[in-house]
Amino acid sequence: MMENNFFNSELSATLKKLGISVNDTNLYLTAFTHTSYANEHKAENNERLEFLGDAILDFLVGEYLYRTYPDMPEGDMSKIRSKYVCANANAEYAVFLKLNKNLRLGKGEKEHGGDEKHAVLADLFEAFLGAMYLDSGLDSVRKILNLVIFSKIEYIDKGYFVDYKSKLQEDIQAESRKGLVYQVDNEIGPSHNKTFTVSVFHDGVRLGTGIGKTKKEAEQEAAKQALAKKVTK
């Protein structure tokens, strides 16, 4: 049933449009199998594919930046990659490709909205890339990344290079002598690939919350959210 759903989905149409054919259906079924489903049905989960896909994603985005921007400093390349390769961004790619429509979740996880959780969707995207790499190679993965990431990087503007933590600190210091406190709300995933949720507080008030693959990335996202709230007030 799951195989039929997969090959009749919008995702299948996307792959066909890119000229990508599926050879090993079991790889993709595993990529779409969350741990909660695997535990309930004694199936293989997608964590190993996620691990592989994470490494491939980092490599290919790094390669793209290196080849496309020969004069760009290493620090700027790292900033761009952290912007386009993070839990929030990866979750958006998963939804854009309709991967969430075919995600296999356990009953409890599904009831708690697992198909909308950024961490779950981000892991799914990486597992999907891992399956695609094993099934049809790096060029197929590059086609997907060109669709969801590379085409966006080409239009990047200087506004991206903002240190949101520093900007928020400056804004707060202009209004108060009390500093900011960043607190880790949650961390999930295996030790080699954790996802952090961090909130930023001022004088006991939560200003924003962010998610990232590192604490620093999550802190930047939290500061960014806090600044966005200040702008909309």
Catalytic residue set: 54, 126
Cα separation, 216 vs 206, whole angstroms: 18
Classify residue 146 by its DSSP letter: I
Query: Residues 200, 219: contact at Cβ < 8 Å?
Result: yes
Structure tokens of 43?
A: 């199936």
219: which 2 tokens?
Answer: 């802190």
Three-state SS at 148: helix
Distances in whole angstroms, Cα of residue 156 to Cα of each of 65, 76, 163: 12, 12, 16
In contact, 148 and 119? CB cutoff 8 Å: no
What element of type H or E holds 183? Answer: strand 180-188
Tokens 């969707």 sit on residue: 121
